[in-house]
Amino acid sequence: MTAKLHIDLKQGLIDIEGDPALVEKIYNDFKDRLSQPIAEAGEAGASETGAKQKRRSSPRKRTDSDDGSSIDPDNPRVLDLELSGLPGFYARYKPKGHAEKLLIFAAFLVDEMKINDPNTDHFYSCYRFIDEKSPNAFAQAFRDAANRQGYLAYNSPSEISITHKGRNHLLHSVEKADDE
């Protein structure tokens, strides 16, 4: 005979499947915790059972830029930058998607403008200057370019750099405007 017991400390549920003696033993271990407040029950369960608690990430925080202003990657702002060389630089490529656009902007900002750690506001300024539609989920576009494609290293909204993979992709794989 098999017994089943489900444990959910947040909702006060226990669900274990196995032999009735095992189920009864586990139930006896957890029944006192079910009446404790959620935070205490979660901490007690993790420390006594050795289970890892899932860490919740803190809300995205704004970071400070070099000029002391706040950078919010979800609400970027246009900076007063000298971007007159950007249209010519951007016109060399035919990017497919925002990851490649961000890579091109990063190359321009780092190589042409000599900005070592551009921030999300720099990139937004590039989008606006060449009149390209920016991503709706602006901060997510950076995470995707970093985590999915590997083109950028996105450590924070004010610390963005081109990876080796990104540099190779830009030099050898992004479609050039004259490659028709």
Q: Note whether 79 and 26 are same-domain residues.
A: no
Q: Is the pLDDT of residue 42 over 60?
A: no
Give residue 162's pLDDT band: very low, low, confident or very high (50, 70, 90): very high
Domain that holds residue 137: 63-172
Over residues 83-112, the pLDDT tens digits come to 999 999 999 999 999 999 999 999 999 999
Q: Is the pLDDT of residue 50 over 50?
A: no
CA distance 161 to 69: 20
Q: Note whether 105 and 44 are same-domain residues.
A: no
Q: Note whether 36 and 120 are same-domain residues.
A: no
Work out how many domains the chain is built from and give that number.
2
Q: Note whether 68 and 44 are same-domain residues.
A: no
Q: Is the pLDDT of residue 8 over 90?
A: no
Half-sphere exposure in the Cβ direction for 1 (13 Å, CA): 5
Helix and strand numbers (H, E) in the chain are 7, 6
Q: Note whether 40 and 73 are same-domain residues.
A: no
Q: What is the pLDDT of residue 17?
A: 73
